[in-house]
Chain A
């Protein structure tokens, strides 16, 4: 339609083309503005509603009076525990997988198949990981609903993304560096370990942190595998805790909404804000690593 208008013979004094172009530009800009507005509204509402709840006490003490008062200390600790274990398990495994894919996947068809499989896994929704974790770790391996099963499930959940980013990061290593290493007589393994991996490490860590952030906010993988809702104490950490379920922020929020009236609204908003801050901090960390690395190499 705009095109037709543009071909209208210009009337005296009215610059149709300019007007139309301006209108179209405004229309398009409106959408981008809308999105920006949406983000700020979301953040503003959650901050506004949650900020008054946040206090040191809220962040460190367990819930009281049947979850209806107190803080969210155990949930934060549970989330951090889940993150820590997942980080420790998924990082080496994912980097190993990415290295295998990038280094040993030369035979193009196998490589393409492997790559497609990992990409499909990365696109698999979290709920499916939850189901899988339940069937395999909780029931088959008899871990029970436990921290351990949660680690395993979250590790599986974050693994594909880490593998893909590792592979992509290794592909950005300049050929010159690899050739230089090989020409010095370094073995393939030494070239990888001493030259390619350090070069790719910022990219890899960005991927690791982003996927951890995703795992931190996702309730579905831990829903059936690691979560407990009612947590009014801080159980002491020991080897035993590996076999016990943990409270965590996303599950607390999900249940808090599902059992309306039990958890008062201000607690939920506080927990929302805490979770968002946790996730955004991870994201900011990733961005910082990325820009630092860019500065280092360019």
Chain B
């Protein structure tokens, strides 16, 4: 990774140290040293296949699921290595939320989609749960569109852009600090893209956001910092 980040006064939240990932012995990510700052949006840009998704998945250890992926190096979040022994994956992923390229709502009602995380993680129910769901949906700018048939409509019945915002809401409902987004707009039409972009800018004020995109203009529109992978 070519460090393209200007020194800053803001606090570093994530730092990768010589992070390499290999699939089947083939390096997909080679000794990446990068920093991501608190409450800013960082865009990652690079040709396809250069390892952008791999880097993102290394940050919440979703690569662990792939049997022949080997990770080396360190990822420090608040100075603590998430690849150290004894790290609680569940807690890590609660802290580091992720949105995927293709919207992946669960086949259940909109409410259930958002409520699943808080209910399982924090044991919330009733009023408290409904509040957190509403809050998350508002943050994801979806509340007004779905509030009428929250518990009846399936998440799959929404349009593409709505689905992606639902996934955002789902992620926000578990109260993460860091948001990873892997080409969140690539499966969407221009209007939905614009909505999501606005949302990202908004979220960047409260969260540490890392967005993968292959669109330079988009990176310029939404991010304070841009990293180039190649």
Contact = CB atoms under 8 A, between A and B. Distances in A.
Direct touch of chains A and B (CB < 8 A):
yes
Interface string A283-297: 000000000000011
Given A177-B106, A199-B107, A297-B156, A183 B60 contact: yes
A260 to B, nearest CB: 55
Contacts of B60: 183
B152 interface: no
Contacts of A297: 107, 156
B62 A176 contact: no
A173 to B, nearest CB: 10
Contacts of B108: 198
Interface string B36-69: 0000000000000000000000001010010100
Contacts of A190: 120
Contacts of B199: none
Interface residues of B, number: 29
A297 B154 CA distance: 9
Nearest to A183: B98
Contacts of B142: none
A180 interface: yes
A181 B116 CA distance: 9
Contacts of B62: 179, 182-183
A196 to B, nearest CB: 10
Contacts of B171: 183-184
Given A176-B100, A179-B62, A297-B156, A185 B106 contact: no
A241 interface: no
A163 B176 CA distance: 38
Interface residues of A, number: 21
Nearest to B105: A180
Interface in B149-199: 154, 156, 167, 170-171, 174
Given A183-B98, A185-B90, A185-B174, A106 B67 contact: yes
A254 B164 CA distance: 60
Contacts of B67: 106
Contacts of A198: 107-108
Interface of B: 60, 62, 65, 67, 89-94, 97-98, 100, 102, 104-108, 116-117, 120-121, 154, 156, 167, 170-171, 174
12 contacts: A177-B104, A180-B170, A183-B93, A183-B171, A184-B170, A185-B93, A185-B94, A185-B121, A186-B120, A187-B90, A195-B106, A297-B156
Interface of A: 106, 174, 176-187, 190, 194-195, 198-199, 296-297
Given A185-B90, A199-B107, 19 more contacts: A176-B102, A177-B106, A179-B100, A180-B105, A180-B170, A183-B62, A183-B97, A183-B100, A183-B171, A184-B93, A184-B97, A184-B171, A185-B93, A185-B174, A186-B90, A187-B89, A194-B116, A194-B120, A297-B107
